Amino acid sequence: MRLLLVLAIVERALGSCAYADLSLAANASILVADASCTTVPVCGVRPNCKVYDSFSSDWSSYVRFDAIGDLSGYTQPNLTVANWSTLTLVKMKLPPTLTKLTLSNISKVDLSAIQATQWSALTDLYYV
């Protein structure tokens, strides 16, 4: 946890954000479990990596996100992302613990750079 905090501080000090190059509005929502989440394991960030919401580590369902980012710190075996018009997976990075991903009630999924994502442990993918 200390390492994540140090990484988040360094990233902010350098002014870089892994999600800044996404073609998203400034108020877009990105689901992450990375160094951006300094006080909880899972959080919602803006494209500038500013945290706007925090979540319990035992949640497995999230709604109204524009993108899935780096979920390396996500510990649940299942994840459901639901109820939004467009979802980008360009920066998606899934942990080896995640085996089932469900995308529910999402009109459009951006797969433009899907080859760059890391999700080899995924055994089940549902689009409902």
Q: And the tokens for 57?
A: 């580590």
Calpha distance 103→96 (Å, rounded): 18
**Where residue 57 falls among pLDDT bands split at 50, 70, 90?**
confident
Position 8 pLDDT exceeds 90 = no
Enter the pTM of the model.
Answer: 0.84
- The answer to whether residues 47 and 20 touch, using CB atoms and an 8 Å cutoff, is yes
- Residue 58 or residue 113, greater confidence: 58
Nearest to 34 by CA among 10, 62, 4: 4
Q: For 83-128, write each residue's pLDDT tens digit.
A: 999 999 989 999 999 999 999 999 999 887 775 567 778 899 999 9
- CA of residue 77 relative to chain centroid, distance: 15
Q: How far is CA 55 from CA 15, 23, 52, 124, in A?
A: 24, 25, 11, 24
Q: For 13-36, write each residue's pLDDT tens digit.
A: 446 899 999 999 999 999 999 999
Domain boundaries, the chain: 2-127
Nearest to 26 by CA among 48, 52, 53, 51: 48
Calpha distance 16→93 (Å, rounded): 18
